[in-house]
Amino acid sequence: MNKTIGISCCSENNFNIFSNMFSLLRTENQIPEVSENFLLPSPFGLQQASVGNEVSATLSEKKPKKKHRRPKKITACPHIYKKHYARNMCNACYHRFGREKNAWSCKHVERKHYAKGKCEACYIKEYMSSNNS
């Protein structure tokens, strides 16, 4: 019984069924003509190839590789083996020497700005008081 099903699936009758299905979808019972250049499906997208089994230039071309981003090097402080933080300095050197603005939200306007407009001492004082409350 299985053999007859397998034979009937592969018989020419199924081809006629499919051709009849396609004829219902098309108003004309014609097979579309193949032009000289057409698009073939490819795992890398649609690429143009010719009918004569010639490989087009787009198949042989390689996509340019993206450059990988490298971490910045520390050049402005002596700690060259530490992680880069800002302005080519490590974290400690940036907070000591790299800041240029002065604080504007606290009474210490002559000190360097740390965060939220405050100097380091006032910011830490506010941070500790808000966490303890």
22 vs 14: CA distance, rounded Å? 12
What residues does 102 pair with on adjacent strands?
112
Q: What is the pLDDT of residue 52?
A: 45
Q: Tokens 């050049």 correspond to what residue?
A: 75
Q: For each successive 10 residues of the chain (133 residues), what is the average pLDDT? A: 48 56 58 56 55 50 70 87 91 90 95 93 95 83
In angstroms, what CA-CA distances link 16 with 4, 13, 23, 32, 41? 18, 5, 10, 18, 26
Model pTM score: 0.40
